[in-house]
């Protein structure tokens, strides 16, 4: 029997999205520091960008500062309020919307991203289909999610529950994790040709021993790319 994922937790974070270290949200912030340059290097020109499942704007606000015309969508009104508050550029357009029914015309964006979101929805193929619909021909699609296997269940779900304070129940559920071959298939089925797949892992040298059992995510924690896709992975695809 599938366990229902708890997506309501993001309504209560407030400024903790950006300030908390006694919470797995700090892991997401640290991951984003590795994702951002990887994505930026692979975008051919600065244009329109849509972030699907933008949360509190970790990616959107950074991309706006780089000169992109950015739109972020999410179903959490409280997360969108935080995202707007932390938008230093004051240019990002934030919209409450369903990722399976994006309120934008076909071929509206040069870049579409969906990071740490596909593992939170029951029909990720439908989200990828909508992302492809609003992407211009030749546009670039980026994603990040978690692989579905016993190791990722142990590390991404159980170890985080055991080692990081304030980890809410059912923040992630293994049934919704997605194997890379499945996600590549979702893309190919809607006209998105995959060009790159890369894993992401923490740099163990950036975790002080005193922090391992403290329940606190160390501020100095860093993530790096790897060829190993067993835990989490990022991908880039282009629309035919």
The answer to whether residue 102 is domain-embedded is yes
The answer to whether residue 212 is domain-embedded is yes
The answer to whether residue 137 is domain-embedded is yes
State the CATH number of the domain containing residue 180: 3.40.50.150
Tell me the whole-structure pTM to 2 decimals: 0.97
The answer to whether residue 225 is domain-embedded is yes
Residue 28 neighbours by CB distance under 10 Å? 17
The region that residue 67 occupies, defined by phi over 0 for left and psi between -120 and 50 for alpha, beta otherwise, is left
> What residue numbers bound the domain in which 186 lies?
7-239
Residue by residue, pLDDT tens for the chain (240 residues) are 467 999 999 999 999 999 999 999 999 999 999 999 999 999 999 999 999 999 999 999 999 999 999 999 999 999 999 999 999 999 999 999 999 999 999 999 999 999 999 999 999 999 999 999 999 999 999 999 999 999 999 999 999 999 999 999 999 999 999 999 999 999 999 999 999 999 999 999 999 988 888 999 999 999 999 999 999 999 999 999
What are the phi and psi torsion angles at 59 (to 5°)? -85, -45
The answer to whether residue 90 is domain-embedded is yes
The pairing of strands 69-74 and 48-52 is parallel
Q: Let me know how many helices (H) and strands (E) the chain has, helices first.
A: 8, 8
Per residue in 205-231, pLDDT (tens digit) is 999 988 888 999 999 999 999 999 999
The answer to whether residue 2 is domain-embedded is no
Domain count, the chain: 1
Residue 137, H or E segment: strand 135-146
The answer to whether residue 1 is domain-embedded is no
Per residue in 66-78, pLDDT (tens digit) is 999 999 999 999 9
The answer to whether residue 71 is domain-embedded is yes
């Amino acid at each position: 029997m599938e366990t229902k994922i708890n997506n309501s937790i993001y309504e209560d974070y407030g400024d903790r999205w950006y300030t908390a270290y006694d919470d797995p949200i700090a892991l997401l912030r640290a991951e984003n520091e590795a994702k951002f340059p990887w994505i930026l290097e692979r975008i051919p020109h600065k244009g329109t960008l849509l972030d699907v499942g933008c949360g509190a704007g970790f990616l959107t606000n950074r991309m706006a500062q780089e000169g992109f015309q950015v739109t972020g969508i999410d179903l959490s009104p409280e997360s969108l309020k935080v995202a707007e508050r932390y938008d230093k550029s004051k240019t990002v357009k934030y919209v409450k919307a369903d990722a399976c029914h994006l309120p934008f015309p076909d071929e509206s964006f040069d870049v579409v991203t969906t990071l740490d979101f596909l593992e939170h929805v029951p029909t990720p193929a439908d989200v990828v289909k909508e992302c492809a619909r609003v992407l211009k021909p030749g546009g670039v699609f980026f994603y990040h999610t978690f692989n579905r296997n016993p190791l990722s269940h142990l590390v991404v779900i159980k170890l985080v529950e055991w080692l990081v304070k304030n980890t809410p129940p059912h923040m992630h559920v293994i049934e919704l994790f997605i194997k890379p071959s499945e996600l590549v298939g979702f893309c190919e089925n809607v006209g998105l040709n995959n060009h790159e797949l890369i894993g992401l892992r923490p740099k163990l040298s950036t975790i002080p021993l005193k922090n391992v059992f403290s329940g606190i995510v160390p501020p100095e924690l860093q993530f790096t790319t790897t060829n190993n896709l067993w835990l989490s992975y990022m991908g880039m695809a282009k629309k035919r």
